[in-house]
Structure 1
């Protein structure tokens, strides 16, 4: 599939939705939608590598479901449903009021989301660190080349890797909670949300893995590389656990670290004179375009075996998660600059891509051509 065909559907959707927004809501809404859609497409480009890694852990028909409906539905659900759910679970308001505020009063909702942000950040940091630790400690015992040298290779061979993953996550929760407590005089209202958030994040990860292991046992598999090809609904249950993992990562990266909530239009819609429902519709449409592009780009990477040909790309994607977890823990102590959040994923993935390319082989071919020409 060429790049042109890869972009055809997302661009058609973007242009069509922009035209509708122009006719129904005016040129300002159309321009705001286009800006948001481009932002979502750029975000999708960063997320496609980890998503392709997830797809590689599945077999048909679960892979087909994941690459088509699963990614789009998962991204939309996590980006749109998790913030109101977090506000409701945090006790700031009831579920109905949280949804109502998210749509009709995004400014007020953003303030309520900020109230539960410490618990959310602690939850996300613990959960995402454990996902990263799967790679760091090579819990599936896969054969691979180390990207960062000897230390990474040694960590990939440790005995009882799942225990190491859990120990490091718990250590992160304890250290962060202690530092937050010391910084605020051990106020219960400050320390308790961080501690409970970290415990909940660890528990959510373990629960997700338990569901995945149960699904695999029902399929006759014992690890993520041996999912059966049958049509059992357990395959789809397993796929849903990995969709949940990546959806949570996307939410934490773009909603919590940079303090932006999707339905507020990332600050691009506030001055356009649009009503709350109109802002929400434009933002949801942009998120949908990004989700479609993510699904198609992930499918392209999977079909082209991009993660096998570019051997360090999966490592780069894993380290993006590790850095994100550390940034989330750090953000509980000091503000994290938006520029760091905006660029760290692209930089890490770029370095992984650059080191994966066969520079030496290309140089040898060039030398041979020069010798032949001479």
Structure 2
């Protein structure tokens, strides 16, 4: 089961890591490995959400999700999108950006360093909104009770997460961005750039979230119509067209999954800029991680174990929040790549261990059918 589900992911991991080691050395090997783990940790909640939708699709559409969908996820979001970001922020064409990355990496690095304030502001605000909307939402399962319960009560205020994000952006633009780090150790006032880029990141999040909600609503409406059609056919003693109805439902499911996956993968791409500016290292690491996320989605569907590790979603969102803060800080101060990479992994590890401990307590209670007590930190 493991080899069947994760076989392609294992193979691509070996090829990607060996290629990084052969072409760029041990530093690239380490960065690609960290990016792979980071992408998996950031996108674990994506796999959980995807699995909840994918389990309603037949085997054919599951294959479409793993083939056509993976092409969009790996080559579109993980390879093309970073080049587009560099192209827009550095005011060069996409082809020129790739040529610079290959032929003149020093010049490319200078351009990316000088464009980092706008990249960090854009990505930091996008990531911050993901984190804030998670912690300000009331949930049955809580991990850090002392923190999540009060924040959930604050989240009942309309648009509170947007207000907090805007306050964080204003603080960053007026303090951190006034001495933004530039190539050669120089500093310059990038307050206006950071403010505009941060607003663009916030707007992008709201648009992507709106699209995801749109497809989700369309999916719910379609499922309601299907249920009504089946009931009418049953009353009339007729058999509804399973192929046609399943095809329409699966198509909307697929569209919803692609928009949802793009919104989740965006934070991984942006977060990668906190670790490296090398687009090929980024593409390899994020591509490996994306394959594992797809394989993990299928595994969760086939095993039916979505709720086994209940705090992993919390850990993933705390990792996103930490990356958002570090991106905003990095506008002025350089943060070591190892630190930014391992913070997220550490938070995921802590959430995983809390989940395992809770599962042991549940098993010791001996009441699998009853509501189990939740131990929060």
TM-score (normalizing by structure 2): 0.73
Asked if structure 2 preserves the Cα contact closer than 8 Å seen for 1:14 and 1:34, the reply is no
Which residue is equivalent to 1:242? 260
The equivalent of 1:154 in structure 2 is 150
Aligned position for 1:52: 47
How much has 1:156 moved relative to structure 2? 2.2
**Could you list the per-position Cα deviations for residues 229-250 of structure 1 after superposition, in whole angstroms to 9, with x for gaps in the alignment?**
7437554443233222222211
Q: What whole-Å deviation, never above 9, does each CA across 1:301-346 have from its counterpart, x for those lacking one?
A: 4544544121111111111111111111111232222222121111
**Distance of aligned partners of 1:362 and 1:258 in 2 relative to their CA distance in 1, 3 Å threshold:** same
Once the two structures are superposed, residues 252-289 of structure 1 have per-residue CA deviations (whole angstroms, 9 ceiling, x without a partner) of 222x11233132x47xxxxxxxxxxxxxxxx75x7644
**Displacement of 1:54:** 3.3
Partner SS, residue 275 of structure 2: coil
How far did 1:52 drift? 1.6
Counterpart CA distance in 2 for 1:30 and 1:261 is 11
Mapped to 2, the partners of 1:243 and 1:298 lie a distance apart of: 11
Partner of 1:170: 166
Cα offset, 1:71, TM superposition: 4.7
Larger CA deviation: 78-87 vs 152-161:
152-161
CA separation in 2, counterparts of 1:16 and 1:342? 22
Partner of 1:332: 331
Uncovered stretches (5+) of structure 1, i.e. residues with no partner: 22-26, 223-227, 267-282, 366-374
* Residue 208 of structure 1: aligned partner: 208
Q: Map residues 1-374 of structure 1 onto 2, 5 A cutoff.
A: 1-2=1-2, 4-13=3-12, 28-29=22-23, 38=33, 41-56=36-51, 58-59=53-54, 60-61=56-57, 64=62, 65-66=64-65, 69-71=68-70, 73-138=72-137, 143-158=139-154, 160=156, 163-183=159-179, 190-221=190-221, 230-231=248-249, 233-254=251-272, 256-263=273-280, 265=281, 288-357=287-356, 358-360=359-361
Q: 1:169 to 1:15 in 2, by over 3 A?
A: closer
CA distance in 2, matches of 1:363, 1:212: 40
Q: TM-score, normalised by structure 1?
A: 0.74
Q: How far does residue 31 in structure 1 lie from its aligned partner after superposition?
A: 7.9
**What is the alpha-carbon root mean square deviation over aligned residues?**
3.6
How has the CA–CA distance of structure 1 residues 39 and 234 changed in structure 2, closer, same or farther, with 3 Å as cutoff? Answer: same
Secondary structure of the equivalent of 2:307? helix
Distance 1:305 1:322, change over 3 A: farther
The 2-side partners of 1:17 and 1:339 are apart by 20
Query: Which secondary structure state, in structure 2, belongs to the residue aligned with residue 156 of structure 1?
Result: helix
Name which of structure 1's ranges 333-342 and 36-45 shifts more when overlaid on structure 2: 36-45
State how many pairs are aligned. 330
Q: For the residues of structure 2 that align with 1:117 and 1:131, how far apart are their CA atoms?
A: 21
Q: Distance in 2 between matches of 1:30 and 1:189?
A: 34
Query: 2:236 is matched with which residue?
Result: none
Q: C-alpha displacement at 1:161, in angstroms?
A: 5.5
Tell me the alpha carbon deviations over residues 72-116 of structure 1, each in whole angstroms, 9 at most, x when there is no partner: 532432232223212322253233322332344333222222221
**Cα offset, 1:137, TM superposition:** 1.4
> Within 2, Cα distance between the matches of 1:321 and 1:103?
30
